[in-house]
Amino acid sequence: MNRVRPPRLRPGSTVAVVAPAGPVEQELLAAGVAVLESWGLVVRVGEHVLDRHPRLPYLAGSDHARAADLQRAWCDPGVSAVIAARGGYGTQRVLDLLDWQAMAAVAPKVFVGSSDTTVLHEAIGARLGLATLFGPMIAGPLFDDDSRAHLRETLFAPERVTRLTGPATGSYGHGAARGVTVGGNLSLIVGSLGVAGCAPPPDGSILLLEDIGEAPYRVDRMLTQLLRAGWFTGVSGVALGSWAGCGTLEEVRAVVDDLLGGLGLPMLWELGFGHCPGQLTVPLGVEAVLDADDGTVTVLEPALS
């Protein structure tokens, strides 16, 4: 089922920047905020975005502080979009601290993030029924000119970026599939198995997968776990993104071919989303067509209304 598409942004829209996962570097944050402001957006940075957890250096402040920033931003009627500053690790730790009933009571708004925020995409889709944007982190090292341009078009003029493809996209399987886009970071999807409300994709889904820093045997283990859990039962097509630090591309291809090649699904390789330069902003929760022969994913309606 298609989710509600939040309203697009306009010059003067207010966006909130939060840090639900790892610690944020002040210089990268300032640079990312300056980019958003150059687009005519009013930027509010969460109170705890530059915090550090007192004992766990891989977290941006305490769980309650990170959750409070996210909750406050989402429930503020003046905020049109909530943007994650960076990924890392820690978003899972805040999910159960959020008041989802209060978040569902406000008007739909845009959520942008990738990597560790995959679990937020899942939760916002399942609990709030909203489409989200799996896009670049504004305080991350890969927020380059190309990723900025694609994010900007998606936020302000999403009808211009309905056809998604990357510079190295190739066919991996043949044919076309139509369905609702789901997925994100492989390790975060696997980490949600067995959690209430985190169901396998519905029938006809277009599954997007990417990861970073996972050895080929770990990619193998995670895909095997999803297969054993019946996670691919409803999948009609697969779009693979970046696999930075996951061994050579040939090694990852061998794993994917061995485990998914026999499913007979149309697939794409290197669509251009995830941890890569020029990262595409890919909408989740919208109907799309994956064409393996053409090397594209085409969103049938703009990501934002």
Q: Which fold has domain 163-299?
A: Glucose Oxidase; domain 1 (3.50.30)
Superfamily of domain 14-160: Murein tetrapeptidase LD-carboxypeptidase, N-terminal domain (3.40.50.10740)
pLDDT at 1 (0 to 100): 59
Strand order in the sheet with 176-185: 163-164, 296-299, 287-291, 176-185, 205-212, 235-244, 267-269, 170-171
Judge if 14-160 and 163-299 fold alike in CATH terms: no
Note the pTM of the prediction, 2 decimals.
0.96
pLDDT at 23 (0 to 100): 95
Provide the residue ranges of all domains of the chain, joining segments of one domain with +. 14-160, 163-299
pLDDT at 2 (0 to 100): 67
pLDDT at 255 (0 to 100): 96
Q: What is the pLDDT of residues 215-263, one digit of tens each?
A: 999 999 999 999 999 999 999 999 999 999 999 999 999 999 999 999 9
Low-confidence ranges of the chain (pLDDT < 70): 1-2
Rg (CA), the chain: 18
Give the catalytic positions in this structure: 115, 210, 275
Strand order in the sheet with 42-45: 42-45, 14-18, 81-84, 110-113, 132-134, 282-284
Closest CA to 214 of 240, 243, 184, 253: 243
